[in-house]
Amino acid sequence: MQEHYFELVIKVSSHHSLFLDFLADTLPVGFEEIDDGFIIRSEDEVDTIIWGLEQFREALQKATGDVIELEYKQSKLKNSDWVKVYQDSIEPLRIDKFYIHPTWDAPDANLINIAIDPALAFGTGHHPTTASALRAIAKYVKEDDKVLDVGCGSGILGVGAIKLGAVVDACDTDIACIENSQLNSELNNVKFNKLWEGSCSFTKDRYDVVVANIVADVLIFIANDLKSVVKEDGVLVLSGILEKYESKVLKFYQNFEILEKITQDEWVTFILKQGKK
């Protein structure tokens, strides 16, 4: 092990989810997602990572017409400090009836505990889209419901639904997410009913509750598939939507009734019901 490692803190002014996807697809090392950006730690210098982010930022600005600001903070730290720095950066979080905590912190006896050890770009509940989706699950998922988590990431949403007594299937197009979801289900002593690599078009089942915490463009692209797996009178939770794109997304779900809208920071989550009145 080298004596030092490099830490790069990146603050992103907008398009957080697109930068998240970019880093997940291109980085040779793991990274941590924070509310307004990311933390990358590497034993190699991070200049190449900054260069790649700047190239992506320029391309994204041209494609969207938006001004995107990136702020960087670099540090060189002793490797012996790594575990403490990492653990100190992850705090337990209460979301409605759920208590999300890393394994090195104690559970809360009065809440439904979800143990998640952060890895790569997988959800820990700290991002507004994950938090809002968990709030929706806490309110709308009932015991024995059939639930589908589309784009499961860490599996945190599915694990939460299982702990409420639901029968949960989950899918993701990234095999790393499937593996991480499986690990986190084992960490929480629960089991997914079905877990597969791919999207919701791979199943012929229909569900009481379908949750999709994905970026707006993907929610549009797979709208017909999502709608087809919701039972009559079932609930569809759409998360991962920036406020400025909400009307664009809702155009593709006009046959659904809006039960609730959850707003946190610049992100919105819609809870929809099959069969518009």
Which phi and psi (to 5°) does residue 89 adopt? -80, -15
Q: How far apart are CA 127 and CA 277, in angstroms?
A: 33
Q: Does 130 appear as a known binding residue?
A: yes
Side-chain-facing half-sphere of 227: CA atoms under 13 Å: 17
Bridge partner residues of 207 (DSSP): 230
Residue 88 labelled as part of a binding site? no
Q: Any known ligand binding at 44?
A: no
Q: Tell whether 105 is in a known binding site.
A: no
Give me the torsion for CA of 258, 112, 232, 207, rounded to 10°.
Answer: 130
**Binding-site residue set for S-adenosyl-L-methionine:** 130, 151, 172, 213
**Binding-site residue set:** 130, 151, 172, 213
